[in-house]
Amino acid sequence: MVSPLNLVRKLVKRPTVPRRGIIIALVLVCVFSVAIIIRAFPAKYGFFLNEFDPYYDYKAANFIVTSFDNSWKSGGGGFPGLLNYFSWTDTTTWFPEGRQVAQTSQDGLHFAGALLYIFFRNVFGLQTTL
């Protein structure tokens, strides 16, 4: 006589999931989790007026380019001008104490825009505005 448990085991097969499917699912869960955490991070500090960020990003990139050019003209080779960004206190944004730009901004965007502009201007001779 066949027991009911053995009968159920014969009728219902254990599903097989390939490892590739499991890895893809885990990667997607990790990516979505990181995306949600990054997206929710500004909520920690409240809602700020942030629609003028492109103007400020332009201002910071322009500061880097201007510092680079001034350092290049004075014989410093341009590199010390890039380092001026890390000691820059912008007193026109948060009055009266100013804002430590390198500590409170996304440096990568400012440097990417400024360095790409300097590269294309100096290497390819592209004459355009920042």
pTM: predicted TM-score of the whole model, two decimal places:
0.59
Please state the domain extents for the chain.
Answer: 4-45, 53-123
When pLDDT is averaged across residues 57-75 and rounded to a whole number, the result is: 90
When pLDDT is averaged across residues 55-84 and rounded to a whole number, the result is: 87
CB 93 within 8 Å of CB 43: no
pLDDT at residue 76 greater than cutoff 80? no
Q: Is 37 exposed, middle or buried (0-12, 13-18, 19+ CB in 10 A)?
A: exposed
Instruction: Please state which of the ranges 31-35, 76-80, 82-86, 120-124 shows the lowest mean pLDDT.
Output: 76-80
Confidence of residue 46 (pLDDT cuts 50, 70, 90): low
Instruction: Please state which of the ranges 13-22, 37-46, 95-104 shows the lowest mean pLDDT.
Output: 37-46
